[in-house]
């Protein structure tokens, strides 16, 4: 059996009982208290400019320290937990840090109020004093957030009720969906979990895929009452809090969180609507390849063509370093260091979480990547994706915490871009036989991030509109989902074989603090692809711009970040670059598929 590298966390903390870890925990608590005291001081600040400068310097310094400490500690506990979810000291460590998080939250509320109290002076200092200039956007954002805060007492109550109210619905959905199972074969008495059933969507045999889809729908049907109650609960919770916090709608709140304007969202959605028919062409050609009249929902992930070549971890390493270097030498050198310094945990293991992520440790200016390598091209691509995130962290590592917090829309920029580099590289190396399945697999993912995400956006929009009036039954939720899928997949899928319980599947709908956590994926995908098509046009001249763009992602709105790099995301032109790239793939896919069927 293959063994793949494990990461080392020794440079972060030697352990939960180490002096370094305990000291940082204590320091975090003291820093939160100091921030609250600074907020209290604000009421007595005189108009004296020197006094105010000193105060603001203290505020930014303490907020940076508080955020760095919290991120570092939480990242450490989560990393330890995620490679061994049964590890009691990691569970305990996470719980202790999440208790401290209440203090962090209260400190942020207090200081936001204090900054808002001195809005004019803060603005004046940001404009006049160089040491604060780069904080202009983030401080103004905090001041503007003040309009969206209830009183400190109510905010404290809301934070407290979050666990037993808002986020409890998400935990219910998570525990129901992670433990549900159904009898698969009467003879053998074998049961399959929902997760197993969903992974059968990748099976080569259509009969198996169809059976898994039917069984999965039956499981959701049996759980529809508690799941519908949970969804009504979480959306009601969000609506109530958003109203009290003076957001005009949950979408308005989401736009502020993602630092984009409504105009940008409209441009993005418009381009996604334009991309849907292009991807339907791909779906219809895929139906022909599978020899069916029309694709069913359970055919979306069906494999076509030759299965791709297998990769050893060393091959993946060499390939990623080479492709990154070809794009931009410092990015290649960075990847090489990440591999050499044991920053990657690649070995699948019992008790280790599935999927992949990248996490940053600001106090030591390092990152780590967790993945479950299996030798497929897709897992090579995942390593590249996560190293893209790590590179993003690397170019921002010397910035203060307040300027490193980028919005979810820009969070996937570096990762999608890195993935695109790898895909292009692999495609140009690929023998003719492998091209069909490689392009197909790319289009399969793009269909998810563009067409399926669009259906989720429509669904959530309608859900909020109706939930504001009344609670919805499971049947009504299924009906809404069906409409959303018909509207986006159109004639690309058989209308009788959709997946009307997707509202039960996706945990994203159940997060009370992150409504509409769907369009940021499409944003990331098209933004990364749009950047790649700019790179194809401008060549090496693009690289400096790209690094600057990544560096600025936490210091301005998404529009300003993009505009500094030379594009406007409020118009469809930029987004179209990504769609054009996609169209090229669909065209090539159709040609290859026709040749394959001859
Ligand atoms: Zn990512």
pLDDT digits (tens, 9 = 90+) for 313-340: 999 999 999 999 999 999 999 999 999 9
CB-based contact 369:415 (threshold 8 Å): no
How many Å lie between the centroid of ligand 1 and the Cα of residue 480? Answer: 29
CB-based contact 154:244 (threshold 8 Å): yes
Highest mean pLDDT among 49-63, 472-486, 574-588: 472-486
- How high is the mean pLDDT of the chain? 93
- Nearest Cα to 437, choosing from 393, 378, 387? 378
How many Å lie between the centroid of ligand 1 and the Cα of residue 419? Answer: 10
How many Å lie between the centroid of ligand 1 and the Cα of residue 374? Answer: 18
Is pLDDT of 574 > 90?
Answer: no
DSSP line for 424-438: HHHHHHS-HHHHHHH
Is pLDDT of 439 > 80?
Answer: yes
Could you identify the residue written with the tokens 């339907």?
280
pLDDT at 498: 98
Is pLDDT of 399 > 90?
Answer: yes
Distances 390 to 1, 326, 530 between C-alpha atoms, Å: 29, 18, 21
Q: 129-169 pLDDT, tens per residue?
A: 999 999 999 999 999 988 999 998 898 899 889 888 888 99
How many Å lie between the centroid of ligand 1 and the Cα of residue 109? Answer: 29
Q: 275-314 pLDDT, tens per residue?
A: 999 999 999 999 999 999 999 999 999 998 776 778 999 9
How many Å lie between the centroid of ligand 1 and the Cα of residue 340? Answer: 22
**Number of neighbouring beta carbons within 10 Å of residue 279:** 27
Residue 185 is encoded by which pair of tokens? 């074969």
How many Å lie between the centroid of ligand 1 and the Cα of residue 253? Answer: 22
How many Å lie between the centroid of ligand 1 and the Cα of residue 386? Answer: 6
pLDDT at 175: 85
Alpha-carbon 267 to chain mean position: 21
How many Å lie between the centroid of ligand 1 and the Cα of residue 278? Answer: 25
Give the three-state DSSP class for 146.
helix
Is pLDDT of 429 > 90?
Answer: no
- Nearest Cα to 59, choosing from 361, 400, 365, 398? 400
pLDDT band at residue 70, thresholds of 50, 70 and 90? Answer: very high
Q: 250-264 pLDDT, tens per residue?
A: 999 999 999 999 999
Q: What is the CA radius of gyration of the chain?
A: 25
Q: Say how far apart CA 331 and CA 418 lie, in whole Å.
A: 10
Is pLDDT of 74 > 80?
Answer: yes
CB-based contact 480:463 (threshold 8 Å): yes
How many Å lie between the centroid of ligand 1 and the Cα of residue 440? Answer: 21
Contacts of 451 (CB under 8 A, 6+ apart): 272, 275, 276, 279, 280, 488, 489, 492
The H helix count followed by the E strand count for the chain is 26, 5
Distances 57 to 103, 135, 146, 215, 548 between C-alpha atoms, Å: 21, 11, 20, 60, 26
Residues within 5 Å of ion ligand 1 by Cβ?
Answer: 415
Residue 364 is encoded by which pair of tokens? 């030591």
Residue 575 is encoded by which pair of tokens? 């987004």
- Average pLDDT of the residues in 377-392: 95
259: left (phi over 0), alpha (psi -120 to 50) or beta: left
Q: Say how far apart CA 335 and CA 326 lie, in whole Å.
A: 12
Could you identify the residue written with the tokens 């959306």?
235
DSSP line for 195-206: HHHHHGGG-S-H
Alpha-carbon 466 to chain mean position: 27
Q: Say how far apart CA 148 and CA 241 lie, in whole Å.
A: 10
- Average pLDDT of the residues in 451-465: 98
- Average pLDDT of the residues in 271-276: 96
Q: How far apart are the first and last CA of the chain?
A: 39
How many Å lie between the centroid of ligand 1 and the Cα of residue 24? Answer: 28
CB-based contact 585:574 (threshold 8 Å): no
How many Å lie between the centroid of ligand 1 and the Cα of residue 382? Answer: 9
How many Å lie between the centroid of ligand 1 and the Cα of residue 385? Answer: 6
Q: Say how far apart CA 133 and CA 135 lie, in whole Å.
A: 5
How many Å lie between the centroid of ligand 1 and the Cα of residue 411? Answer: 7
pLDDT band at residue 371, thresholds of 50, 70 and 90? Answer: very high
Q: In degrees to the nearest 10, what's the CA dihedral of 410, 411, 412, 417? A: 70
Distances 20 to 66, 71, 93, 312 between C-alpha atoms, Å: 16, 15, 14, 37
pLDDT at 309: 77
How many Å lie between the centroid of ligand 1 and the Cα of residue 155? Answer: 31
pLDDT band at residue 67, thresholds of 50, 70 and 90? Answer: very high
pLDDT cut 70: percent of the chain above it: 99
How many Å lie between the centroid of ligand 1 and the Cα of residue 396? Answer: 17
Is pLDDT of 1 > 70?
Answer: no
Q: Say how far apart CA 544 and CA 525 lie, in whole Å.
A: 21
pLDDT at 479: 98
pLDDT at 430: 86
How many Å lie between the centroid of ligand 1 and the Cα of residue 517? Answer: 13
Q: Which class for 34: exposed (0-12), middle (13-18), buried (19 or more C-beta within 10 A)?
A: middle
How many Å lie between the centroid of ligand 1 and the Cα of residue 362? Answer: 18
- Average pLDDT of the residues in 394-414: 94
Is pLDDT of 45 > 90?
Answer: no
Q: Which class for 309: exposed (0-12), middle (13-18), buried (19 or more C-beta within 10 A)?
A: middle
Higher pLDDT, 506 or 433: 506
Q: Say how far apart CA 356 and CA 387 lie, in whole Å.
A: 11
Is pLDDT of 113 > 70?
Answer: yes
How many Å lie between the centroid of ligand 1 and the Cα of residue 76? Answer: 19
Q: Say how far apart CA 170 and CA 231 lie, in whole Å.
A: 8
Q: What is the pTM of this model?
A: 0.89
Q: Say how far apart CA 585 and CA 589 lie, in whole Å.
A: 6
Positive or negative: CA dihedral 25, 29, 31, 35: positive
Contacts of 558 (CB under 8 A, 6+ apart): 258, 259, 260, 264, 407, 409, 410, 569
């Amino acid at each position: 059996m293959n063994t793949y590298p494990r990461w080392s966390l020794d440079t972060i903390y030697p352990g939960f009982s180490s002096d370094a870890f305990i000291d940082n925990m204590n320091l975090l608590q003291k820093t939160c208290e100091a921030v609250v005291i600074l907020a209290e001081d604000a009421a007595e600040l005189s108009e004296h400019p020197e006094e105010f400068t000193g105060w603001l310097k203290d505020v930014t310094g303490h907020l940076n320290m508080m955020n760095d400490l919290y991120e570092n500690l939480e990242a450490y506990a989560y990393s330890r937990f995620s490679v061994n979810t049964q590890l009691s000291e990691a569970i305990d460590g996470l719980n202790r840090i999440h208790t401290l998080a209440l203090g962090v939250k209260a400190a942020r509320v207090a200081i936001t109020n204090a900054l808002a109290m001195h809005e004019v002076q803060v603005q004046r200092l940001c404009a006049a004093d160089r040491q604060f200039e780069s904080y202009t956007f983030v401080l103004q954002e905090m001041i503007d957030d003040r309009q969206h805060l209830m009183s400190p007492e109510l905010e404290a109550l809301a934070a407290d009720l979050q666990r037993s109210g808002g986020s409890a619905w998400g935990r219910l959905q998570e525990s129901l969906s992670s433990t549900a199972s159904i009898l698969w074969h009467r003879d053998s008495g074998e049961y399959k979990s929902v997760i197993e059933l969903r992974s059968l969507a990748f099976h080569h045999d259509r009969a198996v895929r169809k059976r898994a889809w039917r069984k999965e729908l039956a499981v959701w049907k049996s759980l529809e009452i508690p799941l519908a109650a949970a969804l009504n609960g979480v959306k009601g919770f969000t609506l109530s809090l958003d109203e009290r916090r003076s957001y005009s709608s949950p979408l308005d709140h989401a736009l502020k969180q993602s630092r984009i304007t409504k105009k940008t969202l409209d441009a993005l959605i418009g381009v996604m609507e334009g991309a849907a028919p292009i991807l339907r062409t791909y779906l219809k050609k895929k139906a022909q390849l599978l020899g069916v009249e029309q694709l069913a929902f359970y055919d979306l992930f069906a494999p076509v063509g030759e299965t791709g070549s297998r990769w050893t971890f060393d091959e993946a390493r060499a390939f990623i370093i080479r492709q990154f270097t070809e794009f931009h030498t410092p990015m290649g050198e960075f990847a090489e260091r990440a591999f050499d310094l044991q920053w990657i945990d690649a070995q699948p293991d019992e008790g280790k979480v599935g999927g992949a992520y990248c996490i940053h440790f600001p106090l030591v200016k390092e990152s780590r990547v967790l993945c479950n390598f299996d030798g497929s091209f897709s897992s090579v691509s995942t390593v590249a994706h996560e190293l893209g995130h790590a590179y993003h962290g690397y170019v921002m590592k010397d910035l203060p915490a307040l300027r490193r917090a980028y919005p979810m829309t820009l969070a996937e920029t570096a990762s999608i871009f890195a993935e695109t580099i790898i895909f292009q590289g692999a495609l140009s190396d690929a023998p003719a036989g492998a091209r069909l399945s490689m392009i197909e697999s790319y289009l399969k993912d793009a269909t998810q991030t563009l067409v399926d995400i669009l259906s989720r956006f429509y669904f959530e929009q309608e859900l909020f509109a109706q939930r504001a009036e009344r609670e919805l039954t499971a049947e009504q939720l299924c009906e809404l989902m069906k409409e959303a899928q018909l509207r986006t997949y159109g004639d690309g899928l058989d209308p009788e074989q959709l997946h009307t319980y997707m509202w039960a599947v996706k945990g994203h709908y159940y997060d009370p603090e992150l409504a509409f956590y769907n369009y940021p994926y499409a944003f990331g995908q098209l933004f990364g692809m749009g950047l790649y098509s700019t790179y194809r046009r401008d060549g090496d001249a693009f690289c400096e711009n790209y690094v600057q763009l990544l560096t600025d992602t936490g210091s301005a709105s998404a529009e300003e970040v993009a505009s500094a790099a030379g594009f406007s995301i409020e118009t469809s032109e930029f987004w179209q670059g990504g769609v054009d790239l996609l169209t090229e793939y669909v065209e090539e896919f159709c040609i290859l598929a026709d040749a394959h069927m001859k």
